[in-house]
Structure 1
Amino acid sequence: MINFNYETDFNLDNEEAIAAWLSGVILSENKKEGEISYIFCDDEYLHKINLEYLKHDTLTDVISFDYTMGNEISGDCFISIERVKDNAFDFNVPFDEELKRVLVHGILHYCGYKDKGEVEEILMRSKEDEKIMLFHVERE
């Protein structure tokens, strides 16, 4: 089950479509959907989590806590809406596209993809693009 929680004034206007897409992403990776929670927040909220749990004194767009057991993926995915907006501006992409990228980024981590090295990062970006395309195909 995919849940959306809000710790800021942001709200998804298409929760059902996003949840259905993310469920499809999970299936496309031959995984089973467990309990996945998205928590939308601001920079300050996510910065505190980054300091407390990861000991990183930096701003970030997404932090994923992975509770996957075997083939059933589960986790908590915290997303700073402020970072997503800034990144969308910096990368010259629509906000909705950048939001989809961070939404699917957490799922891909739960599926076992990493992004620490250059090769892993290239694969992660490729997978993000592939899964974002699934959203557009499902809506047509």
Structure 2
Amino acid sequence: MEIQIRFRKRIPGLKSQKIKQLLKKTFKDLVNHDVELSILFTNDNHISQLNRHYLGRDSSTNVLAFPMSGGSSTDVDFGLLGDVVVSADTAIRESKERGVPLNETIYRLLIHGILHLLNYDHERSSEEALRMEKEESRLLAIIMEEV
């Protein structure tokens, strides 16, 4: 898994190399193909624009995922897995509101976005939401052991 990270908005204490290392280790069983993942950390204004333009939703959000496959995780054999966009502003706010460390919030959002790229969709059904939530928790526990 090749991971490209861009910061349109910096997040204190967040290091690209550490993110790459942890995500590669965590997702090795789910994404064992030669795929590329792009991650962008941005602000609320920019993610609102993306949400409006691509999804027709006129609001800010914490994370967006743009899959490059045809919609099935089995389609992801090589090439681009997709793009994950995280609002640093929202992540910082959510971290404070929930009383959890910022890095935990960031990794939770990254996992959530990547699972969407792998065809998990909590909006599809309550069963799918539960399946996605369980997988998020499992993967976050793996990452937080390493942090």
Please give the TM-score of this superposition, normalised by the length of structure 2: 0.83
Separation of aligned partners in 1, 2:33 and 2:8:
27
Q: Does 1:77 align with 2:78?
A: no
Match of 1:136 in 2: 144
d(CA) in 1 for partners of 2:29, 2:139? 9
Q: 5+ unaligned residues in a row in structure 1: which ranges?
A: none
Q: For residue 30 of structure 1, report the CA deviation from its aligned partner.
A: 4.9
* Residues 23 and 33, structure 1, Cα contact 8 Å, conserved in 2: no
Separation (CA, whole Å) in 2 of partners of 1:70 and 1:30? 8
Structure 2 equivalent of residue 20 of structure 1: 21
| Maintained 8 Å contact 1:26/1:32 | no
Distance in 2, matches of 1:8 and 1:71, equals: 31
Aligned-pair RMSD on alpha carbons? 2.0
What stretches of structure 2 of length at least 5 have no aligned partner? 70-74
Distance in 1 (alpha carbons) for counterparts of 2:3 and 2:87: 18
Q: TM-score, normalised by structure 1?
A: 0.87
Whole-Å separation in 1 of the counterparts to 2:67 and 2:12: 24
- CA distance in 2: counterparts of 1:12 and 1:82, whole angstroms: 15
Runs (4+) of structure 1 exceeding 6 A deviation are: none
Alignment length (residue pairs): 139
